[in-house]
Each structure stands twice: as C-alpha cells, then as structure tokens.
C-alpha cells in the first residue's frame, strides 16, 4: 500500500512538472508571438509613414510654381516638409537626397529633399562622344567606359533585332541556354532592377559600393570581401549606375508654365503675336520670323549667335517655340541640377573642358532665369566642339573640312532647365527602431503628379545620419 502511494506521488510530481513546463512554454510562445505582432505592427506603421512621405512630396511638387528647376527650388531643400516629420506618436518619415558633389561632406552627405531623376542620364539616351561616334550615354561614365561587355549586352537587350552587338553581345541563344532560361527582351527597360537580368550586369554595377545609398564610405564598404558589398579597399566610394542613370526621364513639349509651345510651322502672324506678347526684343523679331520661314524644321536655338541676343531673349525663344510636333520630347538632362559626372558624360563631346567648368560654377550662383539663356554667359558658341574637331580631322582626309554645328543646339537637344520626374527616397520609422525605406518615382507632367514606380529599399539599409536615427529611428 505504501509503495503504491509513493508511485502516485511520483506520478503527481511528474504531472506537475509537465503542466508547469507546458504553461511556461505557452507563456513564452505567447510572449514571442506578442513581440512578433508588435514588430509587424511597427513595420506596418513605418510603411504607412513612408507612404505619407511620398504623399508629402506630391503635395510639395503641386505647390512649386517657379519657372524652371534648380537648387533654388523648395523641393531641393525642403526641411520643413520632409525632415523628421512625425505622423503619429513615435512614428516619423524623412525624405533624403544627395547634396551636390561640391557641397557634400562625410559629415553632411545628404539634404532633405527630392532626387531629380531629370538630372540623370537616361539609359536609352544615345549621343555623340568626343571621338564623333554614337554611343549610349551611360557608357561614358567611369568605370563603365572600360567595360564593353555590359555595353554590348545592354544594346542587345533593348534593341529590336536578334543580331549581336559587338563581340560581347548576348541575344536569345545566350539567355535560353541558362539554367533558368528566359527570353532576351529586345525592348526598352520597364524597371531599373531589370538590368540584373542582362548578361554581365550585377548588383555591384547597379549600386556600386554605396549599398545603402547614403553617399558616405562606411567600414563595410571599404573592407574588401570581408563583408558585403564587395569593394576594392581603395578608401574611395565607387557609385553604381543607379546613382547617375534613370529609365524614367522625359518631358512634355510645353512651356515652363505648362502651355503648348507654338510650332515654327505656324503662320508668321501667330509667331509674331506670341513673341511680342512675351516681350521679345524687337530687333530679334525679324530674325525669328526669317528662321521660321526658312528653317522651320531646325531648333530655334540656332539663333543663339544673332547679334543682340540676350539671355532673356533666348529664354523666350526656347520656351515659346518648337520645331517638333511630338507631345513629349524624350530624355532631357536638367542642366541646373545634374551632377558633375552626368554633365561630363553628356556634354564632354560638345563643350570644351573650360566651358564645362564655367557651366558647373555658374549654375549654383543663382538667378538662372527661366530658360537656357544663362549659358550665353559661360559658353562661347562661336567655337567648335571637341567632337566637331575630331569629325573635321576625319572628314578632311576624304571630303574636306566639316561644317561647324551650333553648340547651343547640340546642348539643348540633350538638356533642359526643368525637372519633370523626381525620386522620393523616404524612410518611415518608429520609436522601437523599425524602419521601412521606399523609393518612389513621380512624374510632375501629370496633374496631380503620377506615381510611375515604387521600390522597396528596406533591404539596402537606413541612410539617415546617426543623430537623425536617434530622433526618428
């Protein structure tokens, strides 16, 4: 009987242990699930904050009424709209963009504002380089100018034929033969990340060493292969294509005020009435009308060298008249905001080095007017371009000297002074340290601005400086 009681006691003790363990396990599970639920809730709140930042950017663009776009615009520096904005208790958003290279430091690499996608090179833009050859503009950016593999493969991905472009091209047979085969697109890109599907392209080419896109060289970006991203340990931050390039850059064929431009093929009376209403110098009216009569298919900027042309007059002519009938003009680079590397690649075959330096210095001095007229202050449009000199040397050997081109026309076929497409690099965060990073592409040529793309960049990290992270983690 006593032995039986002892067994019952032992069984009861084991049952108690099992019950206690089960209760503890359930408590730990409930606590863990509660923590997961809180983190998921914080992530949802952070995402909503980031989306609120995109809405704030749309509102900011809607109230911008300045003609043209430059670093003087509120969207460039918008602390009051986009810096550490609290949308709920302990929930913030910030929208960041890089400072210009001449202003950027490790201590202050970012501004609170929008990224000017119109200040980037469109990946589909082709142009004449300093040798007089037609190339993709991005191929002039270092270090991509040294890598024909990706240039040929890119050309094959976006062209409509099945012919190889150079010895390093890749067409349908290459992609079909991969382990997870797919078709060669043979059409324009629809998203930037699509580049990763092209032969020779990888994350390093797209993003460079600045994986978190904060424009600061951090320890993991200068330690070789120890930690991602892979880098060359040269203590210099190498940027990828995404820093300098876009696939969204085009603009409407309208005035800066959004009105339709007047075709050069319009009647002389219509042109005269339009230009007179805008205050064109009377001495230039005859030249403008003669150009419209004889050269209606040529850009009005061909008149840049006419005696008496002022910056204000050139602004009027460029803004009001057009020689093309297309509703949209395709890729244009904003002269007022584009980074040095972009302008060097785009204009290196058109402007002399000293002219390019003068252009870069002038645009941050303010008072740029409402058009490209300020270029008359810094560029000698009576001289030839580097590409012209090369072409002339090549042509002299066979046909005699080449005719000079109007440099301003060449510049303005590639460039503009307004921004139509913007990037919104927005970080939504909570007091618990959870953050969500979104990158939106907005097109202001629509009313209201149109969302053309939305990327989740959370995996790339938080770009905010440490002190901002403490206030708005």
- The continuous run of DSSP H or E covering 127 comes out as strand 126-128
Q: Which two tokens stand for residue 208?
A: 């460079």
CATH number, domain 136-245, options 1.10.40, 1.10.1200, 1.10.287, 3.40.50: 1.10.40
Q: How far apart are CA 294 and CA 7, in angstroms?
A: 114
pTM: 0.85
Q: What is the pLDDT of residues 272-330, one digit of tens each?
A: 999 999 998 878 888 888 888 888 888 888 887 788 888 889 899 999 999 988 888 88
Residue in 147, 163, 161, 157 with CA at minimum distance from that of residue 124: 157
Q: What are phi and psi of 432, to 5 degrees?
A: -80, -5
Q: What is the DSSP code string of 25-70?
A: HHHHHHHHHHHHHHHHHHHHHHHHHHHHHHHHHHHHHHT---SS--
Q: How far apart are CA 227 and CA 243, in angstroms?
A: 22
Q: What is the pLDDT of residues 69-126, one digit of tens each?
A: 888 899 999 999 999 999 999 999 999 999 887 788 878 889 999 999 999 999 888 8
Residue in 55, 59, 53 with CA at minimum distance from that of residue 74: 59
Whether residue 165 is predicted with pLDDT greater than 90 in this model: the reply is no
Q: Which two tokens stand for residue 16?
A: 């108690």
Q: What's the chain's length in residues? A: 473
pLDDT of res. 440: 97
Q: How far apart are CA 205 and CA 245, in angstroms?
A: 12
Residue in 230, 171, 164, 179 with CA at minimum distance from that of residue 199: 171
CB of 121 within 8 A of CB of 244? yes
What is the rounded average pLDDT of the residues 210-224?
83
- The residues, ordered by sequence, that sit 6+ positions from 413 with a Cβ below 8 Å of its Cβ are 299
Percent of the chain whose predicted confidence (pLDDT) is above 90: 38
Q: How far apart are CA 258 and CA 55, in angstroms?
A: 22
Q: What is the DSSP code string of 143-163?
A: TGGG-HHHHHHHHHHHSSS--
CB of 126 within 8 A of CB of 136? yes
**Cα distances (Å, whole numbers) of residue 226 to 211, 324, 455:** 15, 54, 28
Beta-sheet pairing, 245-246 with 121-122 = parallel
pLDDT of res. 88: 93
SS3 134: strand
Taking CA 268 as the corner, what is the angle to CA 264 and CA 271, rounded to the nearest 5 degrees?
60
Whether residue 402 is predicted with pLDDT greater than 60 in this model: the reply is no
Where would I find the H helices in 133-214? 148-158, 172-176, 203-207
Residue in 290, 293, 300 with CA at minimum distance from that of residue 323: 300
Question: Taking phi first (over 0 means left), then psi (-120 to 50 degrees means alpha), and beta for anything else, what does residue 415 get?
Answer: beta
Q: What is the pLDDT of residues 15-56, one digit of tens each?
A: 787 888 777 777 777 677 677 778 889 999 999 999 999 999
Domain borders along the chain are: 49-118+419-471, 136-245, 262-331+346-403
Q: What are phi and psi of 225, to 5 degrees?
A: -100, 10
Q: What is the DSSP code string of 251-315?
A: -BSB-TTSPBPEETTS-HHHHHHHHHHTT--HHHHHHHHHHHHH-TTS-GGGGGGSTT--HHHHH
Rounded to the nearest integer, the mean pLDDT of the chain is 84
Where would I find the H helices in 321-380? 340-347, 353-362
């Amino acid at each position: 009987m006593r032995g039986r009681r002892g067994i019952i006691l032992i069984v009861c003790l084991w049952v108690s242990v099992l019950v206690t363990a089960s209760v503890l396990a359930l408590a730990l599970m409930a606590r863990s699930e509660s923590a997961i639920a809180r983190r998921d809730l914080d992530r949802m709140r952070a995402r909503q904050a980031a989306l609120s930042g995109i809405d704030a950017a749309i509102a900011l663009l809607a109230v911008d009424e300045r003609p043209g776009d430059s670093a003087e615009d509120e969207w460039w520096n918008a602390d009051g709209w986009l810096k550490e904005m609290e949308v709920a208790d302990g929930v913030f958003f910030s929208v960041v963009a890089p400072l210009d290279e001449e202003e950027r430091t490790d201590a202050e690499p970012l501004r609170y504002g929008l990224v000017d996608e119109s200040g980037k090179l469109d990946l589909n833009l082709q142009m004449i380089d300093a040798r007089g050859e037609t190339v993709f503009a991005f191929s002039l950016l270092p270090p991509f100018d040294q890598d024909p593999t990706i240039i040929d493969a890119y050309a094959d991905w976006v062209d409509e034929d099945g012919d190889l472009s150079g010895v390093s091209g890749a067409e349908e047979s290459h992609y079909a033969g991969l382990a997870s085969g797919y078709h060669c697109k043979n059409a324009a890109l629809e998203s930037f990340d699509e580049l990763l599907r092209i032969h020779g392209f990888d994350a390093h080419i797209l993003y460079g060493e600045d994986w978190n896109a904060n424009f600061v060289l951090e320890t993991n970006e200068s330690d070789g292969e120890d930690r991602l991203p892979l880098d060359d340990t040269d203590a210099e931050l190498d940027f990828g294509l995404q820093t300098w390039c876009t696939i969204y850059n085009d603009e409407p064929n309208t005035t800066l005020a959004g009105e339709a431009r007047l075709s050069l093929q319009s009647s002389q009376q219509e042109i005269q009435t339009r230009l007179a209403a805008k205050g064109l110098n009377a001495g230039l009216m005859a030249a403008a009308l003669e150009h419209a009569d004889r050269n209606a298919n040529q850009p009005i900027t061909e008149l840049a060298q006419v005696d008496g042309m002022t910056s204000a007059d050139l602004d009027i002519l460029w803004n009001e008249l057009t020689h093309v009938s297309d509703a949209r003009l395709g890729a244009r680079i904003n002269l007022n905001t584009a980074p040095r590397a972009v302008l060097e690649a785009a204009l290196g075959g058109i402007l002399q080095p000293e002219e390019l330096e003068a252009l870069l210095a002038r645009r941050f001095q303010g008072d740029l007017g409402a058009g490209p007229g300020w270029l008359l202050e810094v560029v000698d449009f009576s001289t030839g371009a580097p590409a012209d000199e090369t072409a002339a040397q090549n042509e002299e050997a066979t046909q005699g000297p080449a005719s000079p081109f109007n440099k301003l026309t060449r510049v303005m076929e590639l460039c503009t002074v307004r921004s139509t497409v913007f990037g919104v690099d927005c970080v939504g965060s909570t007091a618990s340290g959870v953050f969500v990073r979104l990158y939106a592409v907005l097109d202001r040529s629509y009313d209201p601005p149109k969302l053309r793309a939305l990327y989740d960049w959370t995996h790339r990290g938080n770009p905010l400086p440490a002190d901002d992270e403490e206030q708005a983690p």
